[in-house]
Amino acid sequence: MKTNKPEVWLRGKVEGVPNLLQPAAHALLQSCEEVEKYMKDFPEELLWEKPAGRASVGFHLQHLTGVIDRMLTYAKAEKLSENQFQYLKNEGKPDQEISPAFLVKNFQEKVNEAIDFLKDTPEKILTEYRPVGRKELPSTVIGLLFHAAEHSQRHVGQLLVTVSFLMENREI
């Protein structure tokens, strides 16, 4: 279904999001719309297929959600929880109990959480230092939020390629 709606970044400001975080909000919301579009009518039996040994659609959907979750945690100056480490460890592991719709819903909910976080983030803290990972590599609040957005866009692109390949090469 073709829509005449412009991309999210061309629809104006996201209400309540600080000016400097508008690009991150636009990218996250665009990712959300594209995931929904690409996953429409995607067959459940292809979710864990790894074409040419590459990442599965299931991995991309889990990873999209996981990265946003982890970047928000670091932006809050918190360390990852055991649940987050377990989620990371399980990204891409086939689980027949998980449906494409479930993964899409999880991603949409995480994007909504991220948008709420952006709305609650004062611009004055954007350049504050935030340690990342066990090695506590240096970043900033804005760096983490930008990474969540651009990394989402990257994996949505990979998701599109994987979905289109699987659908075109599907055995009927």
The pLDDT of residue 117 is 99
Q: What was the pLDDT predicted at 131?
A: 98
Domains in the chain, start-ordered, CATH in brackets? 18-168 (1.20.120.450)
Asked if the model's pLDDT at residue 172 lies above 90, the reply is no
In sign, the C-alpha dihedral spanning 29, 32, 33, 34 is positive
Give the model confidence (pLDDT) of 50-85 as tens digits. 999 999 999 999 999 999 999 999 999 999 999 999
Q: What is the mean pLDDT of the chain?
A: 95
Distances (CA, A) of 89 to 86, 93, 134: 5, 8, 15
Average pLDDT over residues 112-137: 98
pTM, rounded to two decimals = 0.93
The rounded Cα 61 to chain-centroid distance in angstroms is: 7
Angle at alpha carbon of residue 18, lines to 12 and 19, rounded to 5°:
55
Bridge partners (DSSP) of residue 140 are 129
pLDDT at residue 165, as a whole number? 94
Phi/psi of residue 30, nearest 5 degrees:
-65, -45
Q: Find the mean pLDDT for residues 91-111.
A: 96
CA gap 125, 128 in Å, rounded? 5
Share of the chain above pLDDT 90, in %: 94
Q: 120-145 as b/e, with b when 16 or more CB fall inside 10 Å?
A: ebeeeebeeebebeeeeeebebbbbb
